[in-house]
Structure 1
Amino acid sequence: MPPHCLSAEDEQRCRRLLAGATARLRARPAAAAVLVPLCSVRGIPALLYTLRSSRLAGRHKGDVSFPGGKWDPTDQDVVHTALRETREELGLTVPEEHVWGILQPVYDQQKTTVVPVLASVGPLDPQSLRPNPEEVSGEGR
C-alpha cells in the first residue's frame, strides 16, 4: 500500500463510497462483526490482524482474523459490536468517529453473517496492544 492511502482525501472518498452500504447495513441484525483496522506501523500502511487463542472453545481457535466477534444484546448496532470486541480482545479503543463505513457482509463456514466495519486506528505501536490471552494469542507482536 502506498503511504498516501491513509490520507484525509482518501478517507473522505472511502466514506462517500461506503455511505449507502453503511446506512443500509448499520442497524441490520447480524450474528457478528469484525473491525478492519487500517493503521500504520513505523510509517508503513498496514492492516491489523489477530491470532485467535488456542484456548478458545469452538471453531475459531488458532485462526488469523480481524478483531471482532458475536453480537451482544448491549450492542446498539454492528459498529458497536466491532468496536467493543476490538477493545475486549486487544485493549484498543477506537472512537466511533474513526469508522469510515461498513462493508458487505461475509459468511463463515457455518453461514453465520459477519459484518466488516472499516476504521482508521492511525499510527500503531504493536507493543502498546494488550491482547486478552483468553481470546488472542500474544505471539508475534
Structure 2
Amino acid sequence: MLPDCLSAEGEHRCRRLLAPATARLRAWPAAAAVLVPLCSVRGVPALLYTLRSSRLAGRHKGDVSFPGGKRDPADQDVVHTALRETHEELGLVVPEDHVWGILQPVYDQNKTTIAPVLAGVGPLDPQSLKPNPEEVTSVRRTARRTASSEPNQAELSEQSRLPPRSPSVPSVMPPCPNSLGAAPSSPVCGAFSELPPHV
C-alpha cells in the first residue's frame, strides 16, 4: 500500500490545496524555479536533492539544493523553468501533468525570487538518473519508512554527504536538510513544511 502522501487521495488533496496559489503564481515573474520532486525509492517516499558542482559559477556552487535554476526567456512560466532545469541537470523528464502545484515563493541571500514547483515523479529507479557532471556532483534523497521512524538518508549516485535533516517537515513527508547555508533548498523546505501533515 502506498504511503498516504503518495496515494491518489493524497495527491488530490495536495493539488486542491495548492490550486489557488498555483493559478496566481504560475505566470509570476520569478527569477528562478526549482522542482521539489516527491518520489518513492523501493516503496519509501522520498525527496530528491542535488549536490551542485563546485565548478559552477555563482554563489550556489557546491550547495545541496533541489534541481532548478534561472528562468530562461524562452520558458513559458515557472513550471517550465523547473521542468527544463530538472531535465538538464538529472536527465529526468517530468511530464507537466505530474506537477501538483506551486509552493510559496522564497528568496535566497541575494534576494533572488525562487518559485518551488511540487511534482510527483512516481517510483524512481536510481539507475535511470543521468546527472549532468557539469552541473551536478551527486544526487541524494531523504526518506522516512514510517511516520515515526528515524529518517533514512541515502545516496543515489555515489559521492559526498548530505547535511543533517530538519524535523520541521510534516511526519508523513520526507525531511529536508537543515544545514544548507545559503542554498535555495533551505527556505523552500520551510514553504514545503507549511502543507498540512496528511497531504
Q: How does the TM-score come out when normalised to structure 2?
A: 0.69
Q: Residues 83-116 of structure 1: CA distance to partner in whole angstroms, max 9, x if unpaired? A: 0000000000000000000000000000000000
Q: Does 1:79 pair with 2:76?
A: no
Q: Tell which has more relative contact order, 1 or 2 (C-alpha 8 A, sep 6+).
A: 1
SS in 2 for 1:46: strand
Structure 2: runs of 5 or more not aligned: 140-154, 158-199
1:89 alignment counterpart = 89
1:117 alignment counterpart = 117
Q: How many residues align?
A: 140
Q: Does 1:136 pair with 2:166?
A: no
Q: By how many angstroms is 1:138 displaced?
A: 3.3
Give the root-mean-square deviation of aligned CA atoms: 1.1
- Take 1:38 and 1:125, find their aligned partners in 2: how far apart are those partners? 13
Q: Is the CA contact 2:52–2:138 (under 8 Å) kept in the aligned structure 1? A: no
SS in 2 for 1:30: coil
- Take 1:5 and 1:100, find their aligned partners in 2: how far apart are those partners? 12
| Structure 1 counterpart of 2:8, one-letter code | A
- Take 1:57 and 1:116, find their aligned partners in 2: how far apart are those partners? 22
2:6 alignment counterpart = 6
Q: Residues 3-49 of structure 1: CA distance to partner in whole angstroms, max 9, x if unpaired? A: 22200001010000000000000001010000000000111000011
Q: How does the TM-score come out when normalised to structure 1?
A: 0.96
- Take 2:138 and 2:28, find their aligned partners in 1: how far apart are those partners? 33
Superposition map of 1:36-51 within 5 A? 36-51=36-51
1:101 alignment counterpart = 101
- Take 1:65 and 1:126, find their aligned partners in 2: how far apart are those partners? 18
1:20 alignment counterpart = 20
Q: Residues 48-105 of structure 1: CA distance to partner in whole angstroms, max 9, x if unpaired? A: 1100001111111110000000000110000000000000000000000000000000
More helix by share: 1
SS in 2 for 1:120: strand
* Consecutive aligned runs of 4 or more in structure 1 exceeding 4 Å deviation: none
Percent identity of equivalent pairs: 84
